Structure 1
């Protein structure tokens, strides 16, 4: 078994070819991606003949198992990125208004930001501006 399949199996996911391919694609991306981007990549690189529903169900399964998290960056299109392995991805995101890429930032948002007896279940913090690559252009 290769790394992707071991990671999926370790999360209780049967590592089918489609699931492994989607995981590997997400692993190579340094920014969050849409379901449409995943579909295009699968068709282009792997001659994928499945349907969008399979991709959607795979991403939702990955979300349930903590492999990916969904990002609402204000564009009305859900984007997905690999999770850091913890149950909640409580970190900031950066959306480039020039190239429309959304990046996960290492800054964590912690429980210490809240008053006593409050509990964080979800965080959606998106900073907007121009990324380094676009600034260089």
Structure 2
């Protein structure tokens, strides 16, 4: 039986969570996350290999963070795609806390984000299982 879910990472230092999902579609994520203002997130994965959703709120505990969704495990291995999404997450976190981008602080933040994405690909981290029709 395939497990459906996402990985959750807490940076500790920053007031934002990072969630990484691989191979999940909009139907899997609806009801799990909402916008910061409590409205549904437009999970339009279009034809991108990966998408970063900024300032989403986890429905179960109202924590705010960034959600990165990869279309599959092969995409999550691509250094360019991982770097691209890590940059978006870094920008969102820095904007949320009023941090100017650049220097060592940004470099370490991007490193942490990319490492979390890689860990999710490898199955390392806090896995949060999503209930769905196939597992019920």
Please identify which structure carries the higher helix content.
1
**TM-score with structure 2 length normalisation?**
0.28
Please identify which structure carries the higher strand content.
2
**TM-score with structure 1 length normalisation?**
0.28
Larger radius of gyration: 1
Name which structure has the greater RCO, CA cutoff 8 Å, separation 6+: 2
